[in-house]
Amino acid sequence: MVCLGNICRSPLAEGILRSKLSEDIFTIDSAGTGDYHIGDLPDKRSIEVASKYGIDITNQRGRQFSVTDFDLFDYIYVMDNSNFKNVVKLARNETDIAKVKLILNEIYPNQNYDVPDPYHDSQQGFENVFKMLDEATDVIKEKITKH
Ligand code: 4NP
């Protein structure tokens, strides 16, 4: 799960998907394309909305997306079109590029919608992001547990 800072959106996406899948089978992680928040806790508004829905994300720390993530993960879900461009820039080949998907395309195929960056928004913005990610991760769960 990838966003810009790895403190608002992608920690939520990671926490929500972790809560739906067996950690014995799936490796789930998140990262930011930027380096501003390496080592930081998720934003307290993300911690709060996750906690409201019974998910603890306080074990997460910010890290930057790295080219080795293309080798470690089968699917790379990005939150917005800017993240998409930044991740694809690091791709080494077509196999890497094929792993990168806009997460909201799971619910709205081919629409290329962004999960809005809630950083400058209110708690309601984080609530909205949580709902979008909850829906998208339901679809992801269905897809990756089917085969
Ligand atoms: P995120 O939100 O990409 O959802 O983690 C942001 C958090 C911090 C910054 C940008 C986006 N920042 O520029 O510090």
Token pair in block for residue 15: 């926490």
Which residues are catalytically annotated? Answer: 3, 9, 117
* DSSP secondary structure code for residue 35 in this structure: S
pLDDT at 146: 86
User: Is 13's C-beta closer than 6 angstroms to any atom of ligand 1?
Assistant: no
What's the predicted TM-score (pTM) here?
0.97
* Mean pLDDT, rounded, for 43-54: 98
Residues 103 and 13: beta-carbon distance below 8 Å:
yes
The pLDDT mean for the chain works out to 97
Q: Which of 2, 37, 103 to mutate to test the pocket of ligand 1 (most atoms within 8 A of CB)?
A: 37
For residue 4, give the ligand 1 atom closest to its CA: 3
Closest residue (by CA) to atom 13 of ligand 1?
5
Q: What is the phi-psi region of residue 112: left when phi exceeds 0, alpha when psi lies from -120 to 50, beta otherwise?
A: left
| pLDDT tens by residue, 62-119 | 999 999 999 999 999 999 999 999 999 999 999 999 999 999 999 999 999 999 999 9
> CATH: 3.40.5.50, 2.40.160.60, 3.40.50.2300, 3.40.50.12160. Which one for 2-145?
3.40.50.2300
**Residue having the nearest C-alpha atom to atom 12 of ligand 1:** 5
Domain boundaries, the chain: 2-145
14 Cβ below 6 A of ligand 1: no
Kindly give the distance from the C-alpha atom of residue 88 to the centroid of ligand 1, in angstroms, as a whole number: 19
| Atom from ligand 1 closest to the CA of residue 37 | 14
